[in-house]
A and B are shown apart, each in its own frame.
Chain A
Amino acid sequence: MTLLTGWGRTAPTRATVARPRTAEEAAELVAKAGRRGVVARGLGRAYGDAAQNAGGLVLDCTALERSWRVDSTGLVTASAGISLHDLMTALVPRGWFVPVTPGTRYVTVGGAVAADVHGKNHHVDSSFGAHLRSLRLLTADGAVRTLGPGDDLFWATVGGMGLTGVIVEATFRCVPIETAWMRVDVERTRDLDHTLETMAATDDGHRYTVAWIDLLARGRRMGRGVLTRGDHAAPGDLPARARGNPLAFAPRPLLSAPPWAPGGLLNRATVRAFNAAWYGKAPAAPRRVVQGIAPFFHPLDGVSGWNRLYGPRGFVQYQFVVPLGAEDTLRRVVERLSGAGVVSFLTVLKRFGAGTPGMLSFPMQGWTLALDIPAGQSGLAAMLTEFDGWVAAAGGRLYLAKDSRMSADTMAATYPRLERWRQIRRRADPDGVFVSDLARRLRLC
């Protein structure tokens, strides 16, 4: 029995953890799950309670089969427990890049499917599920089913947070790259309108875009930020020293956060200082730089265990999307946060393109804003609940892989395909074997 939390380190609950090595072992464990059920867990990067199952069984899938292959067209078939880090380390030197990567490489393939993860290329490439050819899913009856985009259960599983079964393997198409480097334009923006306008006007010209927002800036500067737009670099873009081996890729963490990090390190003063330095460092007019894949996509992976920097009380991520045209809602949220002096270490804004048919998949065409906030800030719960109402009224929703606090009512009001998902899930898992703390909290099943 182990106490588990998500990456935000809040709301621990206890579960029995088992580590199956084969799909057969996993099937045996699922068959014996008992009345508190079972859920699969990967690298535990969901911020909230998605991969916790209080009083029940949690399958640590990081040892599951662990095989992968790639064909000459870039079609990759990988076991669910393999991390995107492992895949990239193997694939990048061969000239392939994963179709979608979130802000960390330390997610498993299974986790990427279950959360239908998105990245900086969402506005052109959509989310992970859009690139999937097929899935192998261990269902409650012990069978391993092969599913494709023509199956309802496939789209209940993409974004389905592990509640339809244990994802065993996924097949998806990778993109060809010539180098392990990125050609990046960096530019700072004056205020929120400038950030939104610049992003909307220029992101079509780049495969990867994201804006970092300085939430502590107020008044005229509210919503100022740093916009980065990148594309995979061609060999000619590289500095001379990298041209000899343009596909070399062997990133590793530079630092490690100590397990005893006290609370309060990320406070208003330190975050303000960081924000000012970060903003000040960015050029006022667009400047082009060449960056490695790791610093461009996964800057936080440079500090292993960075979540510990929030101290023992942990932190929450708040990520929502509102449709295009609901920029006012976004503005209200930023105004309110900035007015309240809420400390968010990393605030990220991004324009989403079209979503997938995943019934519980998060991304939809619109604007998404992600914040991480230390859990101890007073008044936080009430403020975020108020935001939930604004987001719901605007036709938006919150990201389940990041959520650790919304209510079941908000969930039901913001995921219009929830009922359809429930029907399909009930057919695949009539006894409700697959369950998680998130499912209980949001009354999904």
Chain B
Amino acid sequence: MRNALGSVDTVLLLGGRSEIGLAIVERLVRRGARRVVLAARGGTAPADGLERLGAEVHVLDFDAARPETHAALIEEAAAKVGDLDVVIPAFGVLGRQAVYDADPVAAARDVAVNFGGHVSVGLAAARRLREQGHGTLVVLSSVAGVRVRKANFVYGSAKAGLDGFAQGLADALHGSGARVVVVRPGFVIGRMTRGMTPAPMSVTAAEVADAVVAALDTRKGTVWVPARLRLAFAVMRLLPRPIWRRLPR
């Protein structure tokens, strides 16, 4: 159970090797979480660090591309650790637009993970949180989905879909005791973006994690990382298409 000062007991991370996901989990464990489930493809995820911090860690096999397994996975996690206080689907793939242009099937496959996988996991998690009458679903959206750019519009459109899904789900869960926190990071420097040139207002996984953990203490439903991206995108959303399309990246 979440306590009065925002510390939680149990965490489920889907995409158990995600840099951002693990950074969030580590912070939650440092603040008192004692039972963690890492769900990752192949059933392998780095549990040692979390165990050293005093957490009991369970690792489950999870494939984001197989939505038919997702509801059972959520139940299996709850069977291991009890009520799920925080659920963090942090899986995703970031392919290059040029590759997608040449390989539409690969594009559809990645969208199925980045959007479809989050829909099935999100709905299954929401059902569990609604039943238990409390809990938080953290949805890792992106500014890439706030206004989709031609430079990565396959990835961006999946994130746009995910962002809309998360907002709708947040409203559907209103009053259920459960809630959704939508996280919109900018360019995150890390493994997923290795070799790419960081965009302005880039952040690290640690900074995203700090912002998410801070938001869990408040009643905030949306978190921009860094916070000033909110203002930046308020302007960018209004840019006329001819200008938007000419932006360098």
Contacts and interface: CB of A to CB of B under 8 A. Distances in A.
B126 to A, nearest CB: 13
Interface residues of A, number: 33
A271 to B, nearest CB: 20
Interface in B118-152: 130-134
Interface string B162-180: 0000000000000111100
A264 interface: no
Interface stretch (A125-133, A160-168, A400-408): A400-408
Contacts of A314: 4
A405 B177 contact: no
Contacts of B132: 36, 54-55
Given A55-B131, A56-B133, A441-B9, A3 B4 contact: no
B82 interface: yes
Contacts of B177: 3, 12-14, 54-55
A408 B31 contact: no
Contacts of B58: none
Contacts, number: 80
The size class of the interface chain B forms with chain A is 20 to 34
Given A3-B177, A14-B176, A440-B83, A54 B5 contact: no
Interface string A210-227: 000000000000000000
B contact patch SS: loop
B95 interface: no
Contacts of B178: 14
A380 B5 CA distance: 8
A contact patch SS: loop
A49 interface: yes
Interface in A427-445: 437, 440-441
A413 to B, nearest CB: 14
A384 interface: yes
Given A3-B175, A55-B134, A11 B4 contact: yes
A314 B217 CA distance: 12
Interface string B193-206: 00000000000000
A270 interface: no
A323 interface: no
Contact of A384 (B1, B5, B131): B5
A56 B83 CA distance: 12
A242 interface: no
Contacts of B32: 385, 407
A385 B7 CA distance: 11
Given A53-B133, A384-B5, 13 more contacts: A1-B176, A11-B3, A11-B4, A11-B134, A13-B134, A14-B175, A54-B177, A55-B132, A312-B219, A404-B3, A405-B5, A440-B82, A441-B3
29 contacts: A1-B175, A1-B176, A3-B177, A10-B4, A10-B5, A11-B1, A11-B2, A11-B4, A12-B177, A13-B177, A14-B134, A36-B133, A54-B1, A54-B177, A55-B133, A56-B133, A312-B219, A381-B5, A381-B6, A384-B5, A385-B32, A404-B5, A405-B3, A405-B5, A407-B32, A407-B34, A408-B34, A440-B83, A441-B3
